[in-house]
Structure 1
C-alpha cells in the first residue's frame, strides 16, 4: 500500500509540474488552503490499528508525517489537534500549525511530542479551525479525522458544520472515520454532507494513511482553469478583440427563471475578420462550482453564437446540464464559422468583410447567483485548396472492439482540459473518480487515424458514485460523434463499454455529417466523469480500467496547421478603433490549450445554407490537490497509482497562460 501511495503522490506531482514546465505563464494561483484536524483523545490509545497491536495514535502520527513529507513546498496547510494536553477539558484544542507554508522538520518534531489524553470536542474544533482560516477569502477545506463520536458538544458537531456552511465562507469539510462505530460514522457523515464534503471510513493504519494523504492532497486542487484574462462586452460593437489563443472570463449570473426571464449573462468577443477559405473555431467551457450535497433540479446552459457585424447569426451551439448530478464535468460548447466564399452575395459573409463575433450566453437557474468562470478558446484554421481534398464520408463506420490485454498502469488523470494526463495508444490504465469529479486524458490522433476507448468497471458497490460516463473531445473542444455506450454503472462489477470515433480524422470531412466533429488532427481528450443522483454521497471512488487504442496510419494534411496561439496584437476594425480604450486593452496575447467533457447537449446549427452541421454526441471536476516532491521517478516513466478515493472540492481558478496544442503534421 505504501508503494501505491507514493506512486499516487508522484502522479499528483506530475500534474503540478507539467503545467508549470510547459506553461508560458506569468501568473498561477497557489493551491487551495487546507486545515487538518486530528483526534488526540484518550480513545486513540487503543492498540487495534493493525494486526501487530499498533496504537491508533501511533498510526495517526505516522499518517500525519507521511502527509507532511509528501506535501509540496508551496502548499498552504495547517494542523489543529484536540485532546492532546489535559483530560476532561472540552477546550483542549491546539493549533499546531497555522495555515501557511510548512516548515516540515519543525512540524514533524511537534507531532512527536503530542500525546493522546483528552476528550473529543469535534464541533468546537471545527469552529476553531475555521477561525484560523478566517482571513483566507478563497475556497478552502478542512480534513477531519476522528475515531469516535464527540463527548463535548458545545456546539454539537453537525450543528457547527451547518453553521459554517450558512456563513458563505467557501469552506468544505471532508471527514475520515478511523475505526468508528455507526453513531460516530453518522455524525461524521452529517458534517461532510452539511458542507458539501465527503466521508470515508478507514479500518486500519494503512487505510488511514492512504485516506488522509489522498484526501488532503486532493483537497488543494479544483478545476485548473487557464487563459489570458479578458472581459467581454455587453454590446456587440464594444467587444474586445481576440487573436487565436485561450482566454478566461466570468459569467456573473444565471437566469432568475429558467428559459423565460432572459436575464442571464451575455458577453461579446470580436474574433474576426477572417479571410475567404478560413474557419474560426470558438469554444466556451463554463465551470460550475463542483460542490453540492444534494441534487438540485435546476439546469444550467452555456451557448455560443457566431454572428456577423449586423448581428446575424452565422452558427450556434449550446450544452445543457439538466441538474447537479454531474457537476464534475464542465459545460463545454463549440461553434465554427460557416464557409467563407470570395465575393458571395448571400449568407453570413455577404458584406465581404469577414467580420465575426462570438456571443456567449449563460442561462438556467443552477447556482444562478454565483459567478462561473468560463474558458474561451479561439482557433483559426487557415484556408486550404479544397480541390486537393478527398471524398467526404457519407456512411459511418461500424463499431469495433478494443482487444488490448495486460496489467493496467496506475495513473491519475488531470483535473481539467489544461492539465489532462497524456496517455498512449496500446496501453491500459487504471484510475478512479469521485462525486462531482471528472478525469481528463489526452492522446494524439493524426489525420487518417481513429480513437477507440474501452472502459471496464471494478467492484464499485461501495462507491458514492452511481455511474461514470466517458466521452471524447477534439483539439478545438468539439465533442466528437461516437459509437457505443458511454455509461458504466456501479451495480454491475466488470461492466464494459466501448466508444469509437464514428469515422477517422480526415480533413475532407470539414462539412460532413459524420466527420465534422473530428476532422482536425491533434491532441484529443478523453473525459471520464461521475454521475451521482442518489441521496447518499458517502463512500469511496468509482474504479475503472481504461484501454486506449488509436488505429490507422497517420497521413499528411493539406495546407498549414491551425493557429492555436498567435503572437500578433488583435487587429482593430474602424468601428473598434473608435470604441472605448478598454476594448483593445481587454485582449492581451493569449496562449492556448484544448480538451473535453461529456453529457447531454444540443448541437451547432448553421444558418449558412452550404454548411452541414454535425450533430453533437452525448455531452456530458473535481479533483483534489496535486502535488509533491516525487517528480523524478515519475518523469522517467515510473508507474503511477490510482488514487483510490479522492474528495470533491470546490472550483479553484488558476489564471494561467499555457502552451498551444498544435495538431501534428497538418
Structure 2
C-alpha cells in the first residue's frame, strides 16, 4: 500500500435539494426536510407550562403601551417560534375578577388554563391569547402549584416559565415557599422567572423562586426585552434543538443585530470580495447573543457554495465567525474561526466557534467577571469564488449552562494510543446520508457502502461519557473514471457541534490535520483511526484544542469523501467496508440538555447519567435550561438547497485560529 497526505484539510461533499424545493419550503421549518419523525422529537422535548400575569397592574401604560399588550405580543411571537415537536401549555391568572378587596377570595383562585401541556395548536392558542383581559389579583404561589399539577403526569424533567410584573398579592402561601416545596418534592421541576418592569421586592421574590428550583431569573424592562426573554427562556426550557432553517436577516452592524435564541437559521450573504483574500470583506452580518452567568455559546456558520461548473470564476470562498462587542471590537484574544473552499473542490466552508463560560475568566472582554453576557456573532464572507453571487449561509446557535464538575474525572492530558476495530461477520449494506441531517445512524458493527467521485457521505454514531469511537474503512472495489488523474479517500470525525474532532496520533500514517487522507487508493487498502481520547466533560478544560472538543456526548459524525481529479462531478465509484467500534467504560457527567433532531445543540446539565444510557440512542444538543438527552446533529443542522438547480455541495473544512 502506498499513499501520501496531499493537503491539510478535510474534503467532504454533500448533495443538497433542488432550488424549486427550497422555494417551496422557504417559509417552512427545515425540520420538514429532515428524516427524524416528529413523534420522536416530541417524546424527547421537555414539557413546559408558561404562566402569564394578567393582573390589574398589567394595565399600566409604560411598556411602552399597555403592559398586557406587550405580554400578549410576546406570547404570540413565542407561539410562532416554538418547534412543532414542542410540548407547551399556557396558564394565565388575573382575568376573571377585578382588584377590589371584596374580590380577593375569587381573585386568588382565578387561574385559567388556556392550553394544556402538549402539542401546540398555534392558531387556536394565538386566538386565545388575543382574548386575554387583565384585571385581577396576582396569585403567584397558587399558579405555581397549579402549573406543577398540570405537569404531574409527565415523567422526567419539566419546566415552568413565569412572567410577572409584581409581587404575589395572595400570599400566604409565599410564592418562594411554594417553589421550595416543589423542589423538595423531587419532581425534576425547574422554574424560570421573568420580571417585567418589577420593583426590588418583586425581583427578590422571582429570583428566590428561580433559585429554589434550579431555574433562571431575568429582567425585562420593556416590551422588546420581554419578547426576547420569553422566547429564549421557553425555547431553552423545551429542550428541543431542531434544524429549523428559520429565515433571518442579520444586522449590518451590532446596533441592528437580531437576537439569536438557540436554533438554526438561514440568511444570505450577498457577495464575496473581488480580491481573493480575507483582507477585503464582502458581506458581513451581525447577530446578538445574550448569556447568563456560567453559560457558554456555540455557533457555526456554513456557506452553501456553487458546485463545479456553476461559476466561471476560480479562487477561494472564505467564511469566518467571531464574537465582538457593541463597538465591533473582538471579544477575545483568539476568537476567530476561518474556513475556506477552493473552487476546484467545491466545499461549503463551515466555521465554528465557542465562547468561554460567562464569568470564568476575569480577563475576557465580553465574557469576564464584569461581562454582562452580551456579545455579537459576526459572520463574514470574502474571497473571489463566485463573489458576485448571493449565497445562502446556514447558522447554528446553541447555549450551554454551567455544569457541576464536582467528582468528575479530569481532562485527558494527552492523546491515547489508537484502537483498530476488527469486527467479524458479513458487512451489512448501508447508505450514508448526503448531509449531517440525513446521516445514516450506526452502532458498532461492520457495514458496506460506496462513494462516487466528489461525493461525501455522513454516518452518525452515538458516543457517551467515557466512550471512544474507532473506525476503519477498507476498499473493496475501485472503479475507473476516464477523467480521473488521481483519487483521495478522506475520512474525518465531527463532534455533535460539527467541530472537527482530533484523531489519535498513530491512528494511521496518512493523517492530514485531523482527517485521514489516502491517495492512489486500490482494492484492499484501508484507513483506520480512533478519537484522540474518550468523551469526558472536563475535556473542555484541556490545553489541547483537539481534546477540548471531545467533551460532548451524543451523535458523532463520520464523514467519508472521495475526491478524484476528474473534470466531471461523478467520476469513479469506490466501494468500501466500514467497521465501527465504540469502546470504554461508562463515566458520569452532567446531562447536557437536548432533544433528538437532525440538527442539534443549548446544552444544560442536570444530574449525572451514565454514558451507557446516553449511548443507547443517537443524541443531539439542545436549547434548554433543564435536562434532557443530548443529541447533536444540528444535530447543530442540515445543509440545505440553494440557487437554481441542485447544488451538489463539496465541503472542505480548513479552520484556523488567529489572534484578534
Please point out which of 508, 523, 528 is paired with 2:555: 523
* Whole-Å separation in 1 of the counterparts to 2:325 and 2:269: 22
- Counterpart in 2 of 1:236? 254
Please point out which of 404, 414, 421 is paired with 1:402: 421
Deviation at residue 504 of structure 1 after TM alignment:
0.9
* Whole-Å separation in 1 of the counterparts to 2:260 and 2:495: 21
- Counterpart in 1 of 2:434? 415
Asked if the contact 1:475–1:595 (Cα under 8 Å) also holds between the matched residues in 2, the reply is no
Please point out which of 532, 535, 554 is paired with 1:502: 532
Query: Which runs of structure 2 are paired with 1:83-482 in the superposition (5 Å)?
Result: 227-259=245-277, 262-272=280-290, 274-292=291-309, 297-313=314-330, 314=332, 315-327=334-346, 329-341=347-359, 344=362, 346-350=364-368, 351-425=370-444, 427-463=445-481, 466-482=487-503
Asked if the contact 1:283–1:378 (Cα under 8 Å) also holds between the matched residues in 2, the reply is yes
* Whole-Å separation in 1 of the counterparts to 2:318 and 2:421: 34
Q: Is 2:549 the partner of 1:493? A: no
- Counterpart in 1 of 2:635? 593
Deviation at residue 592 of structure 1 after TM alignment:
4.7
SS at match of 2:437: helix
SS at match of 1:510: helix
Question: Could you report, residue by residue, the CA deviation over 1:253-282 in whole angstroms, capped at 9, with x for unpaired residues?
Answer: 21111116614111111121x122211111
- Counterpart in 2 of 1:131? none
- Counterpart in 2 of 1:545? 577
Deviation at residue 288 of structure 1 after TM alignment:
1.4
Deviation at residue 491 of structure 1 after TM alignment:
4.0
Deviation at residue 602 of structure 1 after TM alignment:
2.6
* Whole-Å separation in 2 of the counterparts to 1:551 and 1:479: 20
Over 3 Å counting, the alpha-carbon distance change for 1:387 and 1:17 in structure 2 is closer
Question: Could you report, residue by residue, the CA deviation over 1:54-99 in whole angstroms, capped at 9, with x for unpaired residues?
Answer: xxxxxxxxxxxxxxxxxxxxxxxxxxxxxxxxxxxxxxxxxxxxxx
Question: Could you report, residue by residue, the CA deviation over 1:565-610 in whole angstroms, capped at 9, with x for unpaired residues?
Answer: 679xxxxxxxxxxxxxxxxxxxxxxx95236996452334577xxx
- Counterpart in 2 of 1:40? none
Over 3 Å counting, the alpha-carbon distance change for 1:398 and 1:306 in structure 2 is same
- Counterpart in 2 of 1:150? none
* Whole-Å separation in 1 of the counterparts to 2:339 and 2:541: 24
Query: Which runs of structure 2 are paired with 1:571-610 in the superposition (5 Å)?
Result: 592-594=634-636, 599=652, 601-604=654-657
Question: Could you report, residue by residue, the CA deviation over 1:285-316 in whole angstroms, capped at 9, with x for unpaired residues?
Answer: 22212343899751122111022334332353
Structure 1 alignment gaps of length 5 or more: 1-14, 26-223, 568-590, 608-666
Over 3 Å counting, the alpha-carbon distance change for 1:260 and 1:528 in structure 2 is closer
Structure 2 alignment gaps of length 5 or more: 1-31, 43-241, 604-632, 639-649
Asked if the contact 2:339–2:351 (Cα under 8 Å) also holds between the matched residues in 1, the reply is no
Question: Could you report, residue by residue, the CA deviation over 1:389-409 in whole angstroms, capped at 9, with x for unpaired residues?
Answer: 332221211122121232222
Report the RMSD for the aligned CA atoms in angstroms. Answer: 3.3
Over 3 Å counting, the alpha-carbon distance change for 1:506 and 1:436 in structure 2 is same
* Whole-Å separation in 2 of the counterparts to 1:606 and 1:339: 20
| Structure richer in strand, relative to its length | 2
Over 3 Å counting, the alpha-carbon distance change for 1:550 and 1:253 in structure 2 is same
Asked if the contact 2:244–2:263 (Cα under 8 Å) also holds between the matched residues in 1, the reply is no
SS at match of 1:548: strand
Asked if the contact 1:460–1:490 (Cα under 8 Å) also holds between the matched residues in 2, the reply is no
Question: Could you report, residue by residue, the CA deviation over 1:531-561 in whole angstroms, capped at 9, with x for unpaired residues?
Answer: 2334466644222221111111333312653
* Whole-Å separation in 2 of the counterparts to 1:293 and 1:490: 28
Over 3 Å counting, the alpha-carbon distance change for 1:606 and 1:424 in structure 2 is farther
Over 3 Å counting, the alpha-carbon distance change for 1:251 and 1:429 in structure 2 is farther
Asked if the contact 2:473–2:578 (Cα under 8 Å) also holds between the matched residues in 1, the reply is yes
SS at match of 2:489: strand
Q: Which moved more, 1:524-533 or 1:337-346?
A: 337-346
* Whole-Å separation in 1 of the counterparts to 2:324 and 2:594: 21
Over 3 Å counting, the alpha-carbon distance change for 1:317 and 1:470 in structure 2 is farther
* Whole-Å separation in 1 of the counterparts to 2:271 and 2:40: 30
* Whole-Å separation in 2 of the counterparts to 1:387 and 1:22: 36
Deviation at residue 429 of structure 1 after TM alignment:
1.8
Over 3 Å counting, the alpha-carbon distance change for 1:565 and 1:294 in structure 2 is closer
Over 3 Å counting, the alpha-carbon distance change for 1:19 and 1:493 in structure 2 is same
Deviation at residue 433 of structure 1 after TM alignment:
2.1
* Whole-Å separation in 2 of the counterparts to 1:17 and 1:334: 22
Deviation at residue 349 of structure 1 after TM alignment:
2.6
Deviation at residue 562 of structure 1 after TM alignment:
5.7
